[in-house]
A and B are shown apart, each in its own frame.
Chain A
């Protein structure tokens, strides 16, 4: 479904991705890991055809994609319908006067006869149906995240790119999201730096290092149990532990916000 070859990207003179290559098959659920600033969000934006790579290429369903190719026409319509990107900050996605309009925005653009049914169905599926007449910006961070997700799902995409979807969620909603995503019949690529969630979000992990290169592509469980790799990716840390009078220090990878 996706083929990424020797992808490079940078902002001004700072590289954000260097020589990244991988494949994603339809129906896969992957998690993209990496420390802050290693290029996770940039990679998702390139996969969504929003940023152009400096070098290398991205193919979706056999066709090379780039912002220039996606300006208009049938290629754009198909790609935008099939590929959805959930931004880390849901505020940037919400601009319609009501939650209902927000979720129905995509289907209405396509002129779908069942736009109303889709909006109500996905609002109920993510649990925001009671807010349908409210402006999205009056909702909490977690509710905004759900509305933004429903707005993407209303188009029934084939590929969902989720940028830190649990960052603004409380523990209960995070649990709901993990189950919800596991049941979605779409290809998923989810970024997170919360290691406790990584295994739940995808059986396969892609890991970006602080040098902006892909340093791991394989089973998530194997990566999470490899302390050397976790340390190399700056996903593990060491600090002093105090157990009464006993004090010791070791590397570990427990949860941090």
Chain B
């Protein structure tokens, strides 16, 4: 199959899989989906599972803890079924996304649309630049800590890096929009 057609077919398959994952409400089916995604990942399964867990951990933990607290306060019971369903669904969607990004050339997949390709180029260039700076934040903390950095220093450095990234991402997005406007994008 032509590489571009193959990438587009994979994009379609990914979109269908994500919609299915959002529609499933039985923990057993969601667990089967997670196992299937890991099987598809092959040798990369552990790396992709780790990425998906790290990416969803904070969000899932906060949502789960809040909902469990709420249900416990009202009924003095634990919503095990809900917890399993929601967390497996989030994990499955993250796994599918990381698997898709690892396997598919996004530029080929979105090649059918000039506008989507432009947006992908903009997003990728921003992400690469921000990733370089994020690496510098980590190295700078390392270079300034005489003993291995303590928790307080790590939290402060991480918070500062996140705040900087948000500021920079907003400023970059604003500049990109201005550049697109200057080149007639919104005409």
Residues of A within 8 A of B (CB): 45, 48-51, 71-72, 76-77, 80-81, 84-85, 87, 89, 91-97, 105-106, 109-110, 137, 151, 155
Q: Is the CB of B156 within 8 A of A95?
A: yes
Bound complex: CA A205 to CA B170 (Å): 39
Q: Which residues of B contact A50 (CB under 8 A)?
A: 139, 142-143
Q: Is the CB of B164 within 8 A of A91?
A: yes
Which of B136, B148, B157 contacts A95 (CB under 8 A)?
A: B157
* CB interface residues, B 130-153, toward A, < 8 Å: 133, 136-137, 139-148, 153
Which of B133, B146, B153, B156 contacts A92 (CB under 8 A)?
A: B133
Nearest residue (CB) in A for B139 is A50
Nearest residue (CB) in A for B142 is A50
Q: Which residues of A contact B145 (CB under 8 A)?
A: 80, 109
Q: Is the CB of B160 within 8 A of A137?
A: yes
Could you list 28 examples of A-B contacts with CB < 8 Å? A45-B139, A49-B143, A71-B148, A72-B147, A77-B146, A77-B147, A80-B146, A85-B143, A87-B136, A87-B139, A89-B136, A91-B164, A92-B139, A92-B164, A93-B140, A95-B141, A95-B153, A95-B157, A95-B159, A95-B160, A105-B144, A105-B153, A106-B144, A109-B146, A109-B147, A110-B146, A137-B163, A155-B146
Bound complex: CA A105 to CA B160 (Å): 15
Interface residues on B, range: 20 to 34
Q: Is the CB of B157 within 8 A of A48?
A: no
Bound complex: CA A85 to CA B143 (Å): 7
Residues of B within 8 A of A (CB): 133, 136-137, 139-148, 153, 156-157, 159-161, 163-164
Q: Which residues of A contact B142 (CB under 8 A)?
A: 50
A243 to chain B, nearest CB (A): 34
Q: Is the CB of A93 within 8 A of B146?
A: no
Q: Is the CB of A151 within 8 A of B144?
A: yes
Q: Which residues of B contact A89 (CB under 8 A)?
A: 133, 136
Given A97-B156, A137-B163, A137-B164, also A92-B144 (CB < 8 A): no
Q: Which residues of A contact B161 (CB under 8 A)?
A: 92, 95
B166 to chain A, nearest CB (A): 12
B136 to chain A, nearest CB (A): 4
Q: Is the CB of B164 within 8 A of A93?
A: no
**Which of B142, B144, B148, B153 has the most chain A CB atoms closer than 10 A to its own CB?**
B144
Q: Which residues of A contact B147 (CB under 8 A)?
A: 72, 76-77, 109
Bound complex: CA A80 to CA B148 (Å): 11
Bound complex: CA A105 to CA B147 (Å): 12
Which of A51, A76, A137 contacts B146 (CB under 8 A)?
A: A76
Bound complex: CA A137 to CA B144 (Å): 17
B165 to chain A, nearest CB (A): 10
Q: Which residues of B contact A48 (CB under 8 A)?
A: 143
Q: Which residues of A contact B153 (CB under 8 A)?
A: 95, 105
Nearest residue (CB) in B for A152 is B144
Nearest residue (CB) in A for B157 is A95
Bound complex: CA A84 to CA B143 (Å): 7
Q: Which residues of B contact A91 (CB under 8 A)?
A: 133, 164
